[in-house]
């Protein structure tokens, strides 16, 4: 069952919880993964925009109808979690385990599903517009009745573009929209990680005339 101490911090709001998570990250250090026990927690219908739930055990968690815009679930265990009709727009599930999770009707627009496990997940009517994930799940998504699959962003296509560009500086034009400098920085950092995976030599990001070069991309 979910630790009552952790629940009390979440009940105080996203900002309080996220600050507490930073403390826990320092406390657990390298042994952090899934130390935070939120199994079967009920957060249905809650507004939890930007909440940090990475490296957390959320097995069987109830998150249906929740607003989880921009939430972080990296390397978390969401086995059997209920995410029905949840707003997961811009959320990051990199490395998360969504085995047997229920994502019926969930909005995964612009969501990062890099290295996720979706075995047995229920994806009926889930929206995958601009969702970032591997082509290995394409057939499963189609068979599961997911929506807007053809508008998904496939990892393999992305890697192919980077591979063709890695001998030169890669120029990417981005529109930051309403994103904060911190959010833009996090995006650039994740992008740089992907480029390093294929031995990239450096990235140049351009946003309406403002350039930032990420050095040491093959360190």
pLDDT digit string, tens, across residues 16-39:
999 998 888 777 655 556 678 999
Q: Region 98-109: what's the mean pLDDT?
A: 97
The pLDDT value recorded for residue 193 is 65
Q: Please, which residues have CB within 8 angstroms of residue 112's CB and are 6 or more apart in sequence?
A: 91, 92, 93, 94, 131, 132, 190
Closest to 127 in 3D by CA, of 148, 113, 151, 144: 148
Across the chain, which distance is largest between two alpha carbons, in Å? 52
Task: Look at residue 200 and tell me whether its pLDDT is greater than 60.
Answer: no
Point out the least confidently predicted range of 67-81, 110-124, 171-185.
171-185
Q: State the pLDDT confidence band at 3, using cuts at 50, 70 and 90.
A: confident
Q: Is the dihedral of CA 75, 190, 63, 52 positive or negative?
A: positive
Kindly indicate whether the domain formed by 1-154 is annotated with CATH number 2.160.20: yes
Q: Region 197-216: what's the mean pLDDT?
A: 51
Q: Region 79-90: what's the mean pLDDT?
A: 97
Q: State the pLDDT confidence band at 219, using cuts at 50, 70 and 90.
A: very low
Structure tokens that stand for 35 in this block:
């130390």
Q: What is the pTM of this model?
A: 0.73
What is the chain's mean pLDDT, rounded?
82
End-to-end CA distance of the chain: 42
The pLDDT value recorded for residue 216 is 43
The pLDDT value recorded for residue 180 is 74
Task: Look at residue 48 and tell me whether its pLDDT is greater than 70.
Answer: yes
Q: State the pLDDT confidence band at 9, using cuts at 50, 70 and 90.
A: very high
Mapped onto helix, strand or coil, the DSSP state of residue 127 is: strand
Task: Look at residue 49 and tell me whether its pLDDT is greater than 60.
Answer: yes
Q: State the pLDDT confidence band at 128, using cuts at 50, 70 and 90.
A: very high
**Do 109 and 131 touch, CB atoms closer than 8 A?**
yes
Query: Where exactly are the structural domains of the chain?
Result: 1-154, 166-214
Residue ranges of E strands in 61-144: 132-133
Task: Look at residue 203 and tell me whether its pLDDT is greater than 70.
Answer: no
Structure tokens that stand for 119 in this block:
């075995």
């Amino acid at each position: 069952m979910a630790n009552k101490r952790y629940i009390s911090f979440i009940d105080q709001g996203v900002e309080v919880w996220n600050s507490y998570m930073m403390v826990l990250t320092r406390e657990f250090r390298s042994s952090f993964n899934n130390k935070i026990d939120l199994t079967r927690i009920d957060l249905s219908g809650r507004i939890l925009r930007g909440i940090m739930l990475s490296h957390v055990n959320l097995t069987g968690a109830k998150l249906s109808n929740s607003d989880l815009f921009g939430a972080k679930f990296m390397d978390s265990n969401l086995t059997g979690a209920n995410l029905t009709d949840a707003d997961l727009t811009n959320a990051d599930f990199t490395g998360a385990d969504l085995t047997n999770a229920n994502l019926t009707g969930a909005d995964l627009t612009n969501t990062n599903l890099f290295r996720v496990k979706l075995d047995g997940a229920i994806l009926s009517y889930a929206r995958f517009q601009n969702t970032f994930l591997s082509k290995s799940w394409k057939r499963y998504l189609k068979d599961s009745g997911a929506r807007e699959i053809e508008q998904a962003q496939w990892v393999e296509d992305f890697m192919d573009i980077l591979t063709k560009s890695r001998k030169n500086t890669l120029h990417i034009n981005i529109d930051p929209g309403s994103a904060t400098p911190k959010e833009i920085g996090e995006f650039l950092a994740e992008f740089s990680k992907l480029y390093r995976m294929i031995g990239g030599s450096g990235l140049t990001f351009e946003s309406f005339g403002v350039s930032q070069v990420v050095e040491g991309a093959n360190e």
